[in-house]
Structure 1
Amino acid sequence: MIRTPKLSNTSGHNRYRSCFRPAASILFLLISGVLISLNAQMSRKPSPTREPAGAMDKRPDSKKNSLLKITSREDFDSIARVYHQNTPYALPHTMFVIDRRSKNKIYFVNSQRFRFHKDFLLATYLVPRGADVFKPIYLEDGRRFIVGTVAWQKPVEKFTWELWEGDLATPEIIKTANAAVNDHFYEKVPYKPNSIRQEDVSENLGIDRILQDELNKNQEYLALNTGKAVGRIHIIDKLDDTVEIGDNEIIVLKELPQSLPPVRGIIVAKPSSPLSHINILAKGWNVPNVYIKDADKLFREYDTFVYELNADLTKYEIKRASLETIKQDFKSPDQVVPPVDLAVKRIAGLREMRAKDGIRYGSKAANQGEMIRSRVPGIIIPDGFSIPYYWYDKFIKDNGFDDKMAAWQDDLEFVHNPRVRRQKLEQFRAEIQKAPFDDALRAEIIKQWRTQLGGRPVFVRSSSNSEDLPNFSGAGLYSSVPNVREADKLIDAVKKVWGSLWKFEAYDARVRNYISQKDVYMSALVQLGVDMQKGGVMITKDPFDKESKDNVYISAVCGHNSKVVDNSGLPEQILFNPRSNSVIVMTLSQQESALAFDENGDLKETTDKCANTRKRVLTDLQARELARTAIRIRGIFGKKEQDIEWGIMNGRIYIVQARPYIDKN
């Protein structure tokens, strides 16, 4: 077994890790075949919106159209179908139909013979040909039929019954269905609500329930971002500023940190939100990011070896990389030069901008200007203005900072020692903060703040030309300054935003994504602040399922939306399906605190919460309004998927950012 030595940083010195491994390790690799392929345990609805290819090709086990009673697992299996056989989606399930006119007679439908409930109803002449089937079985209170599904939920080792997420079932209908299913099934079958409405309606009925949140707790694998990667396995027990992470590594972490430099792949031993900054970065880098239970222990013997990781939605495979694969996939691409226009000097208000102005003022401001022009109904975009890239470039050159940046490339300690690099970048940002500021620009910024924005509290927000690139989002790398109230502090905030271009994490991210450091610039967006009572992020697709193009994913917290993007506490996570107008709660809020402004205008932790007793942040109506807003915003930008930051204040929806959602897989 040939092993490539790995450079690591120990006590400030670069050392080769030992190439020696005990014989037991080699035996383990031989026995395991140096290959792991595991299926996930994920809780998903057994009735997908699209049917997998070949799902109904299997010859039915039974010729019967239905069973009137399920007396054993054998009975169930004889009529149950299984989409995605041998995957975590392999939830055996069978449809049922309850005829209320026939004293709640229940038919457990042979789901190997019939695709849909309506097919069974038509084939058995329970409804006439040509009759409207949809409303009478899904929407009407006085419906004749109740239709649903019974499924085996592997994560909890139980059967559950459920209705379509768009079903407007009343409490009476749910109680009737629960009794019919359980009276004719060989073991207890709890009800699994599939929408907020169904949860609310069934909460006080006194029936056994299993919620989606409970099913998610038992996951062993979750693909936050799918893909393939070839890299050196690097198991990190404790991530601190002495750990050198290479861009050719697949890192294995016990817990998800708030930030990382670019890597080939990410494996974590603890599940997280798909809208954490780490996952947003992973999508921007186009690398796999997966949760695997006990990954740090499972892959301990692979540490420092070069492996190939293949992670899809339902399973992963990890195997030793061949020499041919290493030669092919370890090549470094050419440097990327981000586009910029340094000719424009004029400070401009958001209403004057269009999306094409992103190369002058930053995409954050330009995209908001485009939304203002499009007059999206039902939302507010806080007023503001942007300081173009020209002024950042002039500030850097006037103070001789460009020469200092060029010298870094010849400083071996700066290049190879992350602790030294971090210290020098911190010192550099401090020098930026103290450097002289153009007097004419200072006067113009303060004048614009007072005349256009009335001198009210503002956020000063970063927007670099190295963000939202085709293969690099740059999300979460730079700083914004909240609730600035004084003229002098406004100028300080602009310099802080400019200086954040040279944060350690941002610098390293650009290095490892081969972005030219001498061609990056920073603009500053000065915008009225929003004291959010609720906030979050939404994506105009299901981030778990790249084929599901119509859904809107919403992540919500109480207070300011920073709680979502910094991966602090699990937010409420919702999936909205516009076809069925249904709201599905994927996880409940696990916030212990919220961010709110204190009397000094600073964001502080507070124990105040907006979630109700059931840990819900958003109402059904709010979720639908947000989702429809997201769909309208997507339409503004050529129907390209969007990553949108939002807030709710006094019942109104505020949009503070819309950027392309980078999903290359």
Structure 2
Amino acid sequence: MQARPHLRRVLLSLSLAPVLLACRDPGPEAQVCAITDQDPDSSQTLGCREDFDRLAAKPLNSAKVNAYSAKTLVDTFDDQLYVQNSDRYPIHWDFAFEHLSGQGKPIVPQLGDFNQSEYYSPGRRFYLGAITYYEGPDKWTYEISPYDTASAKMIAAAYAKIRDNSFFGERLYFHPTSEAVEHEAEELPEWVKVITTEALYADQEVQILNTGETYAKLVFVSSAELDSAYLGFRDLVVLDKVPNDISVVSGIITEAFQTPLSHINVLSQSRGTPNIALAGAWTDEELRALEGEWVRFVVTADDWTIEEVSAAQAEAWWQEHRPAPLGVPAKDLSVQALTDIEELLDPMLDDEAAIDAAVPAFGGKASNYAVLAKIGANLNPPKAFAVPIYFYDQFLVEHGFDVRIAQLLADDSFRDDAQTRDTMLASLRDDMVAAPLNAEFEAAVLAKLDADYPGLRMRFRSSTNAEDLEGFTGAGLYTSKSGYAMSAEDPFQAAIKQVWASVWSFRAFEEREYRGIEHTAVGMALLVHRSFPDEEANGVALTANIFDQSGAEPGFYINVQEGGASVVKPSPGVSTDQLIYHFDFPGQPVVYIAHSNLVAPGEKVLTNAELYELGTALDAIHSYFAGIYPPNEDGWYAMDVEFKFDDVDEFDEPVLWVKQARPHPGLGD
């Protein structure tokens, strides 16, 4: 069959000028280019689109999909506008220090003093900002940094200078980039045209979530069909909605836009598989024309392409690119006692070595959790104990499940047919939940709960030796369940067995198969602490700015929701508060990316006091674990933190509880 022409959607290009010039015509204004140098340092005017293209670069803030940006300075010393070459000078100081310091001009100070004075001082010399062109809505904007305290008078002066010296002229808008800037923009004169973030992104067509390349079969599966669909790791899936979960696949295209910390994007990042959201994907005629065919799907930070390939080409690619088998720490079955979290780490070892030593017996989640109590800073991790892997292994052996698992793995029908595999795994899980616990183990857990957690509903959380590995978190693969010490309807015994059985879920099996993890090498420990059935708020956070990999605008990415509603697996139509908290900047500005629709309009999930308390905790976690988990090969380092705010009898306000901190794998290639 003749290959169809490949489908290409260009978001922006950093290097190919002809692609940039193919964007919409900027308007009917007469354009006379002002720049004659092919590679200028700056220009004081923009006479045509080519002038802008020579100076602009991809914004440091990668949330600005379909955008291209050039940094600007208005120097109040001589009332001149400078549009700087933003590839050569990615931050304002770079250009100002080299070109606007001395030789009759005031000396530009070092970077720290420059940032302090030029972003926060009312007596600043420079008005700093950027011109950004948004291709989707075809809008030219002037923007300042979200933490910039520029007055309305300063903003208006810079806006007028850019408008009057640029070919787009009256088409220029001012775009507030944070709530603080929005508030100041209310004081702008009427002749400054203002456009909101909502208006800019309302027509955005593509959202890049994770970059990568794959050869896969293109399939369309509705979110309602996911539970009954059998997806393989060589499938590229087009989805109508953002699902709560998905088995391992080669790539994802959702019609609905995702949050960067949506569960399926975390999985994509961990797997290194491409993931985008595309408006109209479900009914896209060009995608539908490729349904059921083998395709090459490539996603970069700037664009994505898809084209038909042969099955032989796909097979050849997979032979070369399938992930190398991932080894896991060997199970340590010598630890055979319930262990309080304070006793889990060896005090004679440093933290990194102690975690490594603990994982074979207690798994990654419990081992990292044990560090939290050492950090301080009011992290308030719930009192906890761990059930070592030994008891999971004992359970398998006593009931012959270890032999049954070996038989399954040797069965060709189990290996070769996804539906058969799913059916046989479901039967195994059912039998594991029906089998009794070892009597002595059950008595030990009951005694522990009665003595240390009387009357509390407890959360039994999965903690395996096959998670938090380099480049692989194992996030969301296994189940956590809750139960009481004495309850006919909600017994702890069932909770333990359901967590153990989740090792053999279809999705967990498929994920391990894809990563080459030996299934029988996986052991399940349990992290056990009180549950939070009625929390005020819950969320996840990254201790780095997920939209700024340059490090120029550090912050914490926070995704938080009212009550116990899920943030990583939200119900259809439910949105969360998503924000960047610039904790290290003066004034600690907050940039809201989205708002929860479970709270009243205009309200936020967290109060200012709660946000500061969370920021303090995230800062402490980031600093402490930096000595344990170095940056990955791309220079990325962040901790993935799970937290809750919950009422406690002795306090008037909800209290922060940090439930988990694990290394984040990075943002993809």
**With structure 2 as the length reference, what TM-score do the two structures score?**
0.77
Q: Are 1:223 and 2:234 counterparts?
A: no
Q: Alpha-carbon deviation of 1:155?
A: 3.1
1:646 corresponds in structure 2 to 643
TM-superposition CA deviations, 1:387-419 (whole Å, max 9, x none):
111011111221222233233345565545544
Equivalent AA in structure 2 for residue 107 of structure 1: Q
Deviation at 1:143, TM superposition (A): 3.9
- Distance in 1 of aligned mates of 2:544 and 2:205: 24
| SS of residue paired to 2:173 | coil
Consecutive unaligned residues of structure 1, counting only runs of 5 or more, are 2-25, 43-56, 594-608
Q: Deviations over 1:18-51 (max 9, x none)?
A: xxxxxxxx5xx55x3xx33332269xxxxxxxxx
Q: How far does the alpha carbon of each residue in 1:483-510 deviate from its partner, in whole angstroms, 9 at most, with x for none?
A: 7464662222212211222223223322
TM superposition shift of 1:263: 1.9
Q: In 2 relative to 1, CA 519–623 (structure 1 residues): closer, same or farther, beyond 3 Å?
A: closer
The answer on whether the counterparts of 1:241 and 1:418 sit within 8 Å (CA) in structure 2 is: no
Q: How does 1:121-132 map to 2 (within 5 A)?
A: 121-122=100-101, 125=104, 127-128=106-107
Shift of the 214–382 alpha-carbon distance from structure 1 to 2, 3 Å rule, reads: farther
SS at match of 2:142: strand
In structure 2, distance between residues paired with 1:533 and 1:334: 43
1: CA distance between counterparts of 2:155 and 2:447?
A: 62
Is it true that 1:345 corresponds to 2:297 in the alignment? no
1:50-61 pair list within 5 angstroms: 59=37
Matched length = 596
2 CA distance for matches of 1:490 and 1:162?
A: 55
Listed one character per residue, the Cα deviations across residues 200-243 of structure 1 (whole Å, up to 9, x for unaligned) are 44457686533444433333222211112122222335634443
| Match of residue 327 from structure 1 | 316
Letter of the 1:363 counterpart = G
What's the CA shift for 1:313? 0.8
Query: Is residue 191 from structure 1 mapped to residue 177 from structure 2 by the alignment?
Result: no
CA–CA distance in 2 between the matches of 1:130 and 1:447?
A: 66
Aligned pair partner of 2:96 in 118, 141, 162 = 118
Closer, same or farther: CA 507–144 of 1 in aligned 2, 3 Å: closer
Q: 1:627 to 1:40 in 2, by over 3 A?
A: farther
- Give the structure 2 partner of residue 52 of structure 1: none
CA distance in structure 2 between the aligned counterparts of 1:223 and 1:415, rounded to whole angstroms: 34
Matched, 1:613 2:602: yes
- Alpha-carbon distance, 1:141 to partner: 2.8
What residue in structure 2 maps to residue 36 of structure 1?
7
Aligned counterparts of 1:580 and 1:80: Cα–Cα separation in 2: 31
Give the whole-Å Cα distance in 1 for the aligned partners of 2:131 and 2:558: 29
Deviates more, 1:621-630 or 1:189-198: 621-630
Q: Please state how far the C-alpha of 1:262 moved relative to its aligned partner.
A: 1.3
Tell me what 2:500 maps to.
498
- When residues 293 and 287 of structure 1 are mapped into structure 2, their CA distance, relative to the original with a 3 A threshold, is same
Structure 1 counterpart of 2:364:
363
Task: Give, in whole Å, the separation in 2 of the partners of 1:287 and 1:244.
Answer: 18
Once residues 190 and 657 of structure 1 are traced to their aligned partners in structure 2, the CA distance between those partners, rounded to angstroms, is 43
- In structure 2, do the counterparts of structure 1 residues 519 and 58 end up closer, same or farther at CA, with 3 Å as the change threshold? farther
Task: Please list, as runs of the form range in 1=range in 2, the aligned pairs for 1:104-183 lying within 5 A after superposition.
Answer: 107-112=80-85, 115=89, 116=92, 118=96, 121-122=100-101, 125=104, 127-128=106-107, 133-143=114-124, 145-170=126-151, 173-174=154-155
Residue 466 to residue 147, structure 1, CA distance change in 2 (3 Å): closer
Partner secondary structure for residue 204 of structure 2: coil
Structure 1 330/450 Cα, relative in aligned 2: closer, same or farther at 3 Å?
Answer: same
Report the Cα offset of residue 341 of structure 1.
0.9
Does 2:449 correspond to 1:468?
no
Report if aligned partners of 1:261, 1:512 keep a CA contact under 8 Å in 2. Answer: no
Cα distance change of structure 1 residues 121 and 463 upon mapping to structure 2, 3 Å threshold: same
> What does residue 585 of structure 1 align with?
591
Instruction: Tell me by how many angstroms 1:283 deviates.
Output: 1.9
Matched, 1:256 2:239: no
Query: Offset of 1:126 from its aligned partner?
Result: 5.4
Q: Decide whether the 8 Å contact of 1:311 with 1:317 is kept in 2.
A: yes
Q: Is contact 2:614–2:656 with CA below 8 Å preserved after alignment?
A: no
What aligned pairs does 1:239-250 form with structure 2 within 5 A after superposition? 239-250=225-236
Matches of 1:516 and 1:63, distance apart in 2: 55
Give the Cα–Cα distance (whole angstroms) in 1 for the partners of residues 246 and 257 of structure 2: 17
Distance (whole Å) between structure 1 residues aligned to residue 251 and residue 334 of structure 2: 39
Any conservation in 1 of the 2:482–2:492 contact (CA below 8 Å)? no
- Distance in 2 of aligned mates of 1:480 and 1:173: 53
Deviations 1:55-90 (A, max 9, x none): xx99279999635xx8xx6499479721159x9665
Cα distance in 2, alignment partners of residues 211 and 112 from structure 1? 26
Counterpart of 1:393 in structure 2 is 393
Could you tell me which amino acid in structure 2 is paired with residue 311 of structure 1?
A: V
The SS at the match of 1:91 is: strand
Paired position in structure 2 for 1:11 = none
1:659 to 651, 659, 662: 662
Distance 1:564 1:64 in 2: 44
CA 1:410–1:560: 2 relative to 1, 3 Å: farther
| Contact 2:81/2:161 (8 A) holds in 1 | no
Correspondence 1:197-346 to 2 at 5 A: 197-202=180-185, 208-237=193-222, 239-296=225-282, 297=284, 298-321=286-309, 323=312, 326-330=315-319, 336=326, 338-339=328-329, 340-346=331-337
Q: Tell me if the contact between 1:39 and 1:221 (Cα under 8 Å) persists in the aligned partners.
A: no
Partner Cα separation in structure 1 for residue 213 and residue 304 of structure 2? 10
Judged with a 3 Å threshold, the aligned counterparts in structure 2 of structure 1 residues 615 and 547 are, in CA distance, closer, same or farther, namely same
SS in 2 for 1:565: coil
**Does residue 1:570 correspond to 2:575, yes or no?**
yes
Task: Provide the secondary structure at the position in 2 that maps to 1:563.
Answer: coil
Q: Offset at 1:259?
A: 1.9
2:535 aligned to which of 517, 532, 535? 532
1:459 counterpart SS class: strand
Identity %: 23
CA distance 1:270–1:106, change in 2 (3 Å): farther
Tell me how far 1:632 sits from its aligned partner.
2.3
Unmatched tracts of structure 2, length 5 or more: 14-34, 346-354, 632-636, 647-652
Contact 1:555 1:564 in 2 (8 A): no
Q: Which residue is 2:481 aligned to?
A: 481
